[in-house]
Amino acid sequence: MRRSKGPLFVGRGARLKNPQLISHDGRLVIEDFAEVQGLSKHGLNFGNEVSIGRSTQIRPSSYYGGEIGEGLWVGDRTSFGAGCFIGCSGEIRIGNDVMLGPGVRLFSENHIFSETDLPIKAQGVERYFLTIRDNVWIGSGATITAGVCIGSGVIIAAGSVVTRDLPDNSVAAGVPAKVVRLR
């Protein structure tokens, strides 16, 4: 672990790959069977009092070759529920006091598929920023797609698919997610 200040708790069966690229500013809890892969240009950077739920996967780079991903920044007191998937090959920044419910999925890249005479897999990917500001609650099973910015104080209903930016203090729901009211 690099420049880490504070205790690290790693659960049974949890795997940390490339731990020299993972840092934390205070207490970091990685629950049972979570997988945290540090291989990325800027590493994985966690604030204080961060918890990573059971069986969560954080993957900034593909295990099967290709470019190394950008990385992840997570603020203080942020928690990832059980079974989340964080695909941070593009840059993902998550603020303070963010709650990700069980099974939340974050993606920061999309496959290129414009050439119909080439397999999609051979066309590569485009990487995007994904930003989640402070004090956000993302309900169970929600998906946040590449290039989205979630404002401060936002609530996202369980099962929603967020494909567009959401303004501060909004409540969003649906597939695709739409603002249903303001807080």
Q: Is-contact 106 57, C-beta < 8 A?
A: no
Alpha carbon distance 34, 49 (integer Å):
17
Structure tokens belonging to residue 11 = 């659960």
Whether 111 is catalytic: yes
Query: Which residue is catalytic, options 111, 164, 178, 181?
Result: 111
Helices (H) and strands (E) in the chain, counts: 0, 24
b/e per residue 110-145 (b: at least 16 CB within 10 A): eeeeeeeeeeeeeeebebbebbbbbbbbbbbbbbbb
Active-site amino acid positions: 111
